[in-house]
Amino acid sequence: MAVPALRALREALTGTEILLAGPWARLLDGQGLADALVAYPRSWRGRFRAAGRIRDFDGATVLLLPNSLEAAAAAVLWGGRRRVGFARGGRSWLLTDAVPPPDGERTPQQVFKDELYEIYYRFLETEDEYFDYAPAPVPPQGRWRIYGIGLPDAILKKVYHENAERLLGLSR
80 CB contacts (<8 Å, ≥6 apart)?
59, 60, 61, 62
Per-residue pLDDT of the chain (172 residues; tens, 9 = 90+): 578 888 888 888 888 888 888 888 888 888 888 888 888 887 878 888 888 888 888 888 888 888 788 888 888 888 888 899 888 777 888 999 988 877 655 554 555 566 777 888 888 899 988 888 777 766 666 778 888 888 889 888 888 888 777 767 776 6
Q: How many CA atoms lie within 13 A of 99 on its CB side?
A: 13
Domains of the chain plus CATH, in order, are: 3-100 (3.40.50.2000), 106-167 (no CATH)
Distance CA 85, CA 63 (A): 6
- Write down the pLDDT at residue 110: 52
Of the candidates 132, 123, 130, the one whose C-alpha atom is nearest the C-alpha of residue 156 is 123
pLDDT attached to residue 112: 53
Burial (CB < 10 A; 0-12, 13-18, 19+), residue 50, is: buried
pLDDT attached to residue 25: 82
Radius of gyration of the chain (CA): 19
* pTM across the whole model: 0.56
Instruction: Please provide the DSSP assignment of 59-85 as one string.
Output: -SEEE--S-SHHHHHHHHHTT-SEEEE
The closest of 64, 52, 60, 56 to 20, measured between CA atoms, is 64
